Amino acid sequence: MTRSRRYELQHDAAQDERRRVADTRPQPINLPEAAFGPHPLEFGRRAQVWAWVPFTDGRQWRLPGEAAAWNDRVVQFEWWSLKGGGTRSTTVWRQAVTVRSGADHNCDHFLPWLTEPPGDQRRSVREGFSPNSSA
């Protein structure tokens, strides 16, 4: 039985295109270890959070996931990827993470930095002036 060279070339071209698309898919940007600061990452009960994740194509996506580890500067964030399947993870700044409303557990005792700041600080940040400045 003979093989059709035409279909073989067509199949190879389609496979090459799939590989090219997979190689150029935007990847999450991970913070370097120097950004972690002097405090080690703490691992504890995972919190259900939202996080803004930057990607190599310049866009940022707000994704639902879990805070797997954290310190005073960064959060190790994990989420389920629909494209490609499986769990993805990256390290993001702690300010890019918020606790998901309706989370099934209270995060205040192990993620104190994810709670709302006191009203005075929240207003000063929103109004664009520093609490230390004379106004």
**pTM of the model as a whole:** 0.61
Evaluate whether residue 7 is within a structural domain.
Answer: no
User: Across the strands, what pairs with 43?
Assistant: 69
- Looking at per-residue confidence, does 103 or 12 come out higher? 12
Based on the structure, what is the number of domains in the chain?
Answer: 1
Evaluate whether residue 34 is within a structural domain.
Answer: yes
Evaluate whether residue 11 is within a structural domain.
Answer: no
Evaluate whether residue 131 is within a structural domain.
Answer: no
Question: Domain range for residue 68?
Answer: 28-114
Evaluate whether residue 134 is within a structural domain.
Answer: no
Evaluate whether residue 80 is within a structural domain.
Answer: yes
Residue-wise pLDDT tens digits, 73-109: 999 999 988 776 788 899 999 999 999 886 544 444 4
pLDDT of residue 32: 92
Residue 2's pLDDT band, with cuts at 50, 70 and 90, is: low
Evaluate whether residue 70 is within a structural domain.
Answer: yes
Using CB atoms within 10 Å of the CB of residue 37, give its burial: 0 to 12 exposed, 13 to 18 middle, 19+ buried: exposed
